[in-house]
Amino acid sequence: MKLWDKGIPTNKAIEDFTVGKDRELDLYLAQYDILGSMAHVTMLESVGLIKKEELPVLLGKLKELYSEAIKGNFEIEEGVEDVHSQVEFLLTKELGDLGKKIHSGRSRNDQVLLDLKLFTRDAIKEIVESATGLIDVLLERSNETKDVLMPGYTHLQVAMPSSFGLWFSAYAESLIDDLEILLSAYKVTNQNPLGSAAGYGSSFPLDRQMTTDLLGFNKMNYNVVYAQMGRGKVEKIVTFAVGNLASTLSKLAYDVCLFMSQNFGFVTLPAEFTTGSSIMPHKKNPDVFELIRARCNKLQGVSGQISLITNNLPSGYFRDLQMVKEIFLPSFKEMNDSLKIATLALKEMTVNKNILDDPKYNYLFSVEAVNKLVLQGVPFREAYKQVGAEIESGNFQPEKTVAHSHEGSVGNLCLEKISESKKEVLHSFNFNKTEEAIQKLLK
């Protein structure tokens, strides 16, 4: 079944090539296509395109289909082109001509735009929740280990004293900045394209503000041409934002892999969180963090792929955009899985509390020695030369204490401030507004 069928059969090879993976990928969108149809028919009734007594019949059947989609029981049948066709086919099968009325005033173009935005809103919400869980664990571990010193590095050379408290909370704050970028992407996503039809509006007296409110959008894409131009652009913006988050997580994973090696010996994972070697009986490999690193590096490339598909298209709809779904829709699960498994592993990770007992880390405290002389009145450059001479002659004796007290340093992590930043960005998403609107629509 094809919504555009005019009685001329399509060549089978052409049909297979053009449909591509839509039947498989559109299952991601099924519940959202049904929600969009519920809002659309409610609006159609309000402007007189559906009779008052017809609306509850349509909404009742759509709610049944929504329930099946939520349970994972919705299928796109063989011969049905996409999710939009399947929903209309099922309504028509059950309700006859009434089912055929739901497409008035819209196109598959604005349907898929809407479906993708509704899907993306929920996907972002899930990622935000998972990232928040990881931030909370990082802040907890930071507080637990705030007094456990470790080496800090520049150029991978031993540099200055750091602490696990600093290390854990650095990634917490980085993830919060990533959420700020994701918030901007969410705002771009949370605009209603429904009613733009094929990209040029409709002669029907559609009430676009009504569907905007019913679906809990913050506002609509006002210009119908721009609504269509948003296809591909929204996905690129969102995956760029997700890629930032993936970049932070990849760097964290690399640190853990490095710190777990015997050459460092800074952290260990429980045996059940590691894998072994088929020939080396001593091996305990951090495969989980290596795969997090690889997946997150791959996710950083998704926005670039979308750019290459879309960046030379003029305004209007083109079938090229179908290809975006193949890399866009599955990317959220990969990001979410990586966040959740990192949270689990970091919660159980053990830190080495005696790293700095090794004399190779003595030079970490050279800056502390310089600063001590400066506090005694020695000019900084002279103090630097004096400590440098002691190091070169082998006479440097470190005092392995750190007295940093300024904001964000070893002795003043500002964990409360970082936590407040997290709460502020979470509040700005205002997920409750969309949730309340969707629940009201479903009732």
> What residues act catalytically?
155, 277
Q: What CA–CA distance (Å, rounded) separates 62 from 416?
A: 47
Q: Which of 169, 342, 183 is CA-nearest to residue 249? A: 342
User: Is 268 in a helix, a strand, or coil?
Assistant: strand
User: What does the block give as tokens for 344?
Assistant: 């689990």
Alpha carbon of 247 to those of 8, 244, 265, 297, 395: distances in Å? 50, 5, 24, 7, 42
Q: What CA–CA distance (Å, rounded) separates 330 from 8?
A: 34
Q: What CA–CA distance (Å, rounded) separates 36 from 30?
A: 10
Phi, psi of 427, rounded to the nearest 5 degrees: -60, -35
Tokens 């930043």 appear where? 421
Phi, psi of 48, rounded to the nearest 5 degrees: 90, 10
User: What does the block give as tokens for 284?
Assistant: 């305990």
The region, left, alpha or beta by phi > 0 then psi within -120 to 50, assigned to residue 204 is: beta
Q: What CA–CA distance (Å, rounded) separates 142 from 170?
A: 9
Check: CB of residue 329 under 8 Å from CB of residue 25.
yes
The region, left, alpha or beta by phi > 0 then psi within -120 to 50, assigned to residue 197 is: left
Show Cβ contacts of residue 227 under 8 Å, excluding neighbours closer than 6 positions: 110, 113, 193, 196, 199, 220, 221
Alpha carbon of 98 to those of 234, 247, 323: distances in Å? 34, 50, 33
Check: CB of residue 62 under 8 Å from CB of residue 41.
yes
Q: What CA–CA distance (Å, rounded) separates 85 from 201?
A: 21
Q: What CA–CA distance (Å, rounded) separates 270 from 230?
A: 47
Q: How far apart are the first and last CA of the chain?
A: 31
DSSP state of 10: P
Q: What CA–CA distance (Å, rounded) separates 95 from 90?
A: 8
Tokens 């640190």 appear where? 255
* Angle, CA 276 vertex, CA 272 and CA 281 arms, to 5°: 115
